[in-house]
Amino acid sequence: MKETVVKRFVGYAKEYTTSDPKSKTFPSTERQLTFADKLVEELKQIGLAEVEKDKYGYVMATVPATTNEKTPVIGFVAHVDTSPDFSGENVNPIIRQYDGGSIQLNSKVVLAPEQFPDLLGYIGQEIITTDGNTLLGADDKAGVAEIVTAMEYLIQHPEIKHGKIRICFTPDEEIGKGADFFDVEKFGAEFAYTLDGGEIGELEYENFNAAMATVTIQGRSVHPGAAKNKMINAIHVGQKLNSMLPPEQRPEHTTNYEGFFHLIAFDGKVDKTVLTYIIRDHDRKLFNSRKEMLTQACVFLNDEYGDGTVQIEMEDQYYNMREKVEPVKYIVDLAEEAMREVGVEPLIRAIRGGTDGSRLSFMGLPCPNIFAGGHNFHGPYEYVPIQSMVKAVEVIVKIAEKVVGR
């Protein structure tokens, strides 16, 4: 199992599948479809049934039941794209035995326990790192590799009793569109798990409520020598807007269940400035209060500078899956029990982000999130311990076993 999941992940990691937030197509990049085609052929070769890729790039397949007992259909989901935040082209995964020291990834990039103390939990283990030039893609190709490996293991071991299992690999999760065209009815599972978490043991059924806001400020550009009482410098108005939001409620000052306002882009000129925010909170009431705070700040500035100076467009992106998962909490308990039975200590925590599962839960497919094993996603410091990947495969298999008769 170890050699299989490692070989599979290394091969997947080398596939260039970065999504593109500026694209107008779905999926956002042709390269994701290329990888999806390869997955289709692989799933057929290892014996899965009902293997298909639809026009949107979703790959679905089935492992038939090996028992006649009444058993719910369950699913496992992972995404094929990698983050556009850092290069995912020409990825060169490197397997290393970790000894507790710093790892010189290349001449400029060092993976050091002083900056990344979680490394010290893997002394004596093999880990897979980047070469310092790209991200690794454990988010979420580790999840893809683990699901495929677990399905192959179940096919090769028909003596393991399990119900019908459905799997799906989605595109464009990293740009928030992974569930846009997911066909829940066709998938046909009663519940599912995303394999898209971080360190070993993570089990999550809470995530942020999320919105994106774009604030456009229309300035008035006048020659600075004759600007008194005439110029409206949109850059300064933008700075004033940002200063009206509590600085302690920024991502770099928050943790656990604390929400935030995150200014992700500031395109400033005197005559026009555009600010882009993401707004996050686990609590729906606090989430709505945050959106209202930003809206009222814009109203205040319009009162000061003139109606229409500041315009805001805001769109909700996803909501806290807890609302949909809690009524069927036994599916979280099932995963927790499975982890303990394969020797993994569950780390039940809230996601400070979102997954396909958060949207799928609101589409009628309750979908908690399970660890895939990686650390430091979306950059050159990303790594994944091999033992964590093996344990993720074991957890998937154990869940499939335990659901029989439920």
- 208 band by pLDDT with thresholds 50, 70 and 90: very high
Give CA–CA dist 126/154, Å, rounded: 25
Rounded to the nearest 10°, the torsion over CA 84, 324, 206, 192 is -60
pLDDT per residue as tens digits for the range 310-341: 999 999 988 999 999 999 999 999 999 999 99
pLDDT at 151 over 80: yes
Axis crossing angle, helix 386-402 with helix 330-341, rounded to the nearest 10: 120
Kindly name the residue from 139, 173, 202, 206 that is annotated as catalytic: 173
The pLDDT confidence band at residue 353, using thresholds 50, 70 and 90, is confident
Range of the domain at 271: 210-317
**For residues 385-403, b (16+ Cβ closer than 10 Å) or e, as one string?**
bbbbbbbbbbbbbbbbbeb
Contacts of 1 (CB under 8 A, 6+ apart): 149, 153, 390, 393, 394
Confidence of residue 197 (pLDDT cuts 50, 70, 90): confident
Residue 204 catalytic?
no
Residue 136 in contact with residue 129, Cβ under 8 Å?
Answer: yes
Same domain flag for 326 and 242: no
Residues 172 and 78 grouped into a single domain: yes
pTM above 0.85, yes or no: yes
Model confidence at 356, pLDDT cuts 50, 70, 90, reads confident
Helices (H), 225-355: 234-243, 284-305, 322-325, 330-341
Residue 405 predicted with pLDDT over 80: no
Asked whether residue 58 falls in the same domain as residue 158, the answer is yes
73 with 153, same domain: the answer is: yes
User: Is residue 346 domain-shared with residue 223, that is, in the same domain?
Assistant: no
Is 393:1 a contact under the CB 8 Å cutoff?
A: yes
Query: CA 152, 30, 147 angle in degrees (round to 5)?
Result: 15
> Which residues in 59-74 are b (16+ Cβ under 10 Å) and which e?
bbbbbebbeeeebebb
Contact 309, 217 (CB under 8 A): yes
CA 171 to chain centroid: 11
- Within 14-164, residue ranges assigned H as helices are 30-45, 138-156
Cα–Cα dist 120/285, whole Å? 39
Domain termination residue (choose one: 317, 346, 362): 317
State the Cα–Cα distance between residues 78 and 139, nearest whole angstrom: 9
The CA-based dihedral angle spanning residues 332, 334, 335, 338, taken in that order and rounded to the nearest 10 degrees: 160
The tokens of 125 are what? 């283990």
Closest CA to 188 of 309, 298, 73, 355: 73
* Domain endpoint, select from 317, 338, 367: 317
**Residues 15, 81, 202, 204: which is the catalytic one?**
81
Same domain, 306 and 330: no
100 and 143: one domain? yes
Q: How many whole angstroms separate alpha carbon 375 and alpha carbon 39? A: 24
From the centroid of its chain, how far is CA 387?
A: 21
CATH number of the domain encompassing residue 263? 3.30.70.360
99 is catalytic: no
Question: Count of CB atoms within 10 A of residue 346's CB?
Answer: 19
pLDDT digits (tens, 9 = 90+) for 75-133: 999 999 999 989 999 999 999 999 999 999 999 999 999 999 999 999 999 999 999 99
The CATH number for 71's domain is 3.40.630.10
Q: Are residues 241 and 99 in the same domain?
A: no
Q: Which amino acid is at 103?
A: I
- Among 317, 333, 352, which residue terminates a domain? 317
Please check whether residues 90 and 140 belong to one and the same domain. Answer: yes
Tell me the backbone φ, ψ of residue 13, rounded to 5 degrees.
-60, -30
How many domains does the structure of the chain reveal? 2
d(CA 380, CA 85): 11
Residues listed for the chain: 406
**Same domain, yes or no, for 380 and 240?**
no
Contact between residue 82 and residue 135 where contact means Cβ atoms under 8 Å apart? yes
Inter-residue contact 331 to 403 (CB < 8 Å): no
Query: Closest Cα to residue 167, out of 312, 13, 53?
Result: 53
Same domain, 228 and 92: no
Query: Are 27 and 85 in the same domain?
Result: yes
Q: How confident is the model at residue 398 (pLDDT cuts 50, 70, 90)?
A: very high
Q: Is the pLDDT of residue 406 over 80?
A: no
